[in-house]
Structure 1
């Protein structure tokens, strides 16, 4: 924790949307707030966190939250280990790999709930004019993913290989750079998320699949995590963060337009763009352990890992 607000530092992402800022310096009862930094990858599901900040839900539990954007979950994990952030966005594959490789971190809260089987804010899209209109056209083609140990890579690879495509190459690229890379022909396809996927689609990109909702309905594909050391030293703070996110996820499910409205300030969208965003959640504020097992099994089947972790060991539960 910090005795002053950490300045909001923009990561090297091509987005003017610096989701900075925290809450008032004191709680509703006048007591001083504990300042907490949350590492995020800027995308539409952050709306739930932003909503909790703006409605004072964190302040009600004694916390003042500042967010620090990053290009992908890997630098977020680094900031957790370096104690530059208390909580941070990770995808399930990053969570699994970090624990396998000796960096013990645990999911504390979902980001926005579980994956909705009916809607998805991310898509595997093909570049306009590429001649690609189905997954089996991706043989020998290049597909951009946010990182090479990502849920997007795992999902895309599963669907592409099941379609019979071979020789597909995957390259790492931050989400904000993907629409231009598609338009320039530097990649043939990309797994891209809101609000950047709308830019690509407006430029003529073609949706081929929605890997997350197709493969992991009601699953946990990302979460806010913290290090085991931090959680051991600060269980009450972690409980306060978890309880706030549970409240925010439930509230957002009943007031989705209000949640989306936070993206105007925090992701610098227009009001119309903000309301057009998809929050791909069923708004169930629980970690789905079975889905972590499913994702881990898929990683092993693809040769991405050669050992496993117990899903129960990578999810934090308060004691008592």
Structure 2
């Protein structure tokens, strides 16, 4: 896939009847979850338009699908977790983080949780030995964090299965899996049905880290640096705005994720609202991937983060 041709520079559209200004059309691939609220707010409030962008989104079940769409040229930016970013680089496919999703990961506010199903009766990490455990994809940041917690607790022979987030609550309730790492807003449904929160793998393991980002292909960035800079600046503005207006920003989830106003208001944006990529944490995640034998080699962090050039 490294040889795929990136999309040509994005199309432009008029901002109004005057035709005096042009907006650059870009499509952003997302995996629907609550932190998307910051992107949605930038779309709805006019922040992207102020920076010259007309942004639309395309949902996917996992970051793997998003990365494939960027490589095919159908999406210009997309949601990527750090392990997917690293694996792509090792495979010779150059994707680079352009912007945080919501800032750095808060050390005490996590949108994802490691839960045990009500039917399992599990009350501690040790109870997952030999049990079936759901993650959104087998190479996900959620599995990496969960596996580290299990390893640290001496838990062996956990059977991992891939299940999309929206299907996890039912799988837990039915007893098809004994536990999962599940994210907001789907975690609320699972917890309401009796799932028990035992840990928060991402914030427990990489507090203040970058576990995901909006990325683009190196080829797209080389040809469209001004567009990328505008996207980055707009996301920074929206992240900083959300710090002091979180409830306002969460309202965007009503339209874009089809949540009720009550449910939307209770969602967690797991951010410290520092609008930067934490390079050091990307290195720590890569080291953990190598420790767990997910990868045999490593790549320089500078190859994974866009430097604006």
Give the TM-score normalised by structure 1. Answer: 0.91
1:76 to 66, 76, 98: 66
Corresponding residue of 1:135: 125
Report if the CA contact (8 A) 1:27-1:59 is conserved.
Answer: no
Does residue 184 in structure 1 map to residue 171 in structure 2?
no
Q: Is the 8 A contact 1:115 1:217 kept in 2?
A: yes
* C-alpha contact 1:126 1:208 (8 A) present in aligned 2: yes
Within 2, Cα distance between the matches of 1:170 and 1:140?
10
RMSD (Å) for aligned C-alpha atoms? 1.5
Equivalent of 2:89, from 99, 110, 124?
99
Per-residue CA shift, 1:138-163, capped at 9, x if unaligned?
Answer: 00001100111110000000101211
8 Å contact from structure 2 (residues 12, 24) kept in 1? no
Q: Residue 259 of structure 2 corresponds to which residue in structure 1? A: 269
Q: Deviations over 1:239-290 (max 9, x none)?
A: 0000111111111111111110100111111111001000000010000000
Asked if 1 retains the 8 angstrom alpha-carbon contact of 2:137 and 2:163, the reply is yes
**Residue by residue, what CA displacement relative to the aligned partner does 1:95-121 show, whole Å, maximum 9, x if unpaired?**
000011011010000000000001111
Alignment of 1:102-251 (within 5 A): 102-251=92-241
Query: Matched residue of 2:221: which SS?
Result: helix
- Post-superposition offset of 1:318: 1.3
In the TM superposition, residue 222 of structure 1 has moved relative to its aligned partner by 0.2
Deviation at 1:165, TM superposition (A): 1.2
Inter-CA distance 286–201: structure 2 relative to 1 (3 Å threshold): same
- Number of residue pairs aligned between Structure 1 and Structure 2: 301
* Contact 2:119 2:178 (C-alpha < 8 Å) held by counterparts: no
Q: Check whether the contact 1:28–1:60 (CA below 8 A) recurs between aligned residues.
A: no
CA–CA distance in 1 between the matches of 2:11 and 2:67? Answer: 22
**Is the 1:27–1:60 contact (alpha carbons within 8 Å) kept by the matching residues of 2?**
no
Partner SS state of residue 137, structure 1? helix
Q: CA offset at residue 70 of structure 1?
A: 0.1
Contact 2:119 2:175 in 1 (8 A): no
1:318 pairs with 2:308: yes
The Cα of 1:226 is off from its aligned counterpart by: 0.2
Q: Distance in 1 between matches of 2:233 and 2:268?
A: 24
Distance 1:177 1:317, change over 3 A: same
CA distance in 2 between counterparts of 1:208 and 1:180 reads 19
Alpha-carbon offset, residue 25 of structure 1: 4.0
TM-score normalised to the size of structure 2? 0.95
